[in-house]
Amino acid sequence: MTRKQRRLTLISLAGVVLASAVGLVLFALSDGITFFTSPSDVLAKPPGLDQRVRLGGLVERGSIVKEADGVVRFAVTDGKATVPARYVGILPDLFREGQGVVAEGKVDGSGLFVADTVLAKHDETYMPKEVVEALKKSGEWRPENGEGPAPETVQR
């Protein structure tokens, strides 16, 4: 084997090892990846029944129903579309109608979003970047001070 052939073999072997390592990492992370989506996206292209998603938007006014068995039903909207949601557990103190929310879970066969985690807006100016972008895209973004949240509060 010449020096050139050895170098080419070594580079090829390193490429195969690197590609295998990347493939293994992506496979290992595939269960932990949760994609953000807005209600409009869920209705336009529903995720698979086993696919976890983060649904973000505003809690629709008049939609919160607390049942006796601890089940809370509410709707998440981005102004263009609304997705009904269901959650069992204790909600964050700041969870209320008209406020920003990000819920993690799955969409069932009937189109109901079954959340296992609910995150609420935590102060007067913070809203997750993805929620702000989805609301701006739908034309429903209404910052209180006319300028929107400061960049340092959006990227926490």
87 among the known binding-site residues?
no
Q: Which helix (H) or strand (E) holds 80?
A: none
Q: Which helix (H) or strand (E) holds 132?
A: helix 129-138
Tokens of 135: 């609301």
Residues 6+ apart with CB under 8 A from 91: 72, 118, 120
Q: How many CB atoms lie within 10 A of CB 150?
A: 11
DSSP structural state of residue 98:
T
Quick check: 153 and 129 in contact, CB under 8 A? no
Structure-token match 């949760």, residue found: 34
How many Cα neighbours within 13 Å face the side chain of 90? Answer: 2
143 among the known binding-site residues?
no
Tell me the binding residues for heme.
Answer: 122, 126
Tell me the binding residues.
Answer: 122, 126
